[in-house]
Amino acid sequence: MRYMERGVARPSGYVEATRGCLHTCRHCPVVPIYNGRFFVVPAELVMEDIRQQVAAGAEHITFGDPDFLNGPGHAMNRATTPCRVPICYL
């Protein structure tokens, strides 16, 4: 995966710190899979995934959780954990 920064394509990575979503919005494709259930991925697993991607060359990490802020404590912890690569939350 790559992202563009000032016209230069840079290697990037993708992680999810949570699975599912607490909401059951009719328009959402996540609902049939999780049906309003929400799971937190253990912090150390998320950070290990990020470390592996950075070691493989990722210069940017994107969090692609369907609803990152369903678990506000977990989200804030992930968002404030020191990391040596730029992080983006979709």
Residue boundaries of the structural domains of the chain: 2-89
pLDDT reported for residue 84: 57
AA letter at 81: T
Predicted pLDDT at 70: 75
Which pTM does this prediction carry?
0.73
Asked whether 54 and 85 are in contact (CB, 8 A), the reply is yes
Please give the pLDDT value at position 90: 45
pLDDT number for residue 85:
56
Task: Give pLDDT, residue 44.
Answer: 86
pLDDT at position 69: 74
Element (H, E) at 85: none
Q: What kind of fold does domain 2-89 have according to CATH?
A: Transcription Regulator spoIIAA (3.30.750)
Supply the pLDDT for residue 26: 92
CB proximity list for 82: less than 8 A, separation 6 or greater: none
- Residue for token pair 């959402």: 28
Q: Which residues in the chain land under pLDDT 50?
A: 90
Return the ∠ at Cα 84 (arms to 62 and 82), rounded to 5°: 90
CA distance 18 to 75: 9
pLDDT score recorded for residue 83: 62
